[in-house]
Structure 1
Amino acid sequence: MNAWLFMALAIVGEVVATTALKSSEGFTKVVPSVIVVAGYAATFYFLSLALKVIPVGIAYAVWAGLGIVLITTIAWLYHGEKLDAWGFVGMALIISGVVVLNVLSKTGSH
């Protein structure tokens, strides 16, 4: 399977798990708590598979950066968290950094 597909699955798992973490209310609600544990287990499993091919620096930048942007967007849209213009600028910078690292940088063979 393609390493980037594993990376995408790791990101989806992290986003689902972190979103459920808010709903778990400190692990006091069973269903969201189970989703958190299963989501993070899947995340680290798929991330470990992606790391067989993708250099760790690239993988971590993509995983963390896109995870931050997606989770922030979900929190803004579904949990009513505030996001001002500077928040959007920050997210654009994160995305820009991930793109630069993947497209322009020679930090790893990918």
Structure 2
Amino acid sequence: MNPVLIAYGMLALAIVSEVTGSTFLVKSEGFTKLWPSAAVIVLFSIAFYLLSQVIKVIPLGIAYAIWAGVGIVLTALIGYFVFRQSLDWAALIGIGLIVSGVVVINLFSNSAGH
């Protein structure tokens, strides 16, 4: 199987793990609740391990840009739908600019390693 494809799959899993860990971070209430706190530690450990494997194939800057862009969107959606946290227009525009940057990198950059 193509190593780049595997790396992007691992990056997707890393992002999901990090976003899920961030969700449990809210539930941990400042690390005062045992099981949500343990979930944060395990999920972030998985996320960083996977990212460490991804950057063997995909350049760090590209991997991190994708990680950050997708992570921000997913975290904002979870904040909105799960925690009922609203976003104003400035936040939505900023998130849109981040997503646009990730799209530009993936479509037009030779550094993206596709």
Q: Could you tell me the TM-score, scaled by structure 2's length?
A: 0.89
Given residue 108 of structure 2, which amino acid in structure 1 is its aligned partner? L
**Where does the alignment leave 5 or more consecutive residues of structure 2 unmatched?**
none
Counterpart residue number, 2:34:
30
Given residue 107 of structure 1, which amino acid in structure 2 is its aligned partner? S
Identity of aligned residues (%): 48
Aligned mates of 1:108, 1:73 — CA distance in 2: 26
The total of aligned residue pairs comes to: 110
Match for residue 61 of structure 1 among 62, 65, 71 = 65
**Where does the alignment leave 5 or more consecutive residues of structure 1 unmatched?**
none
Given residue 48 of structure 1, which amino acid in structure 2 is its aligned partner? S
> What's the secondary structure of 2:72's corresponding residue?
helix
Given residue 64 of structure 2, which amino acid in structure 1 is its aligned partner? Y
Given residue 55 of structure 2, which amino acid in structure 1 is its aligned partner? L
- 1:15 and 2:15 correspond: no
CA-atom RMSD in angstroms:
1.3
Counterpart residue number, 2:49:
45
Given residue 26 of structure 1, which amino acid in structure 2 is its aligned partner? G
Given residue 37 of structure 2, which amino acid in structure 1 is its aligned partner? S
- 1:89 and 2:107 correspond: no
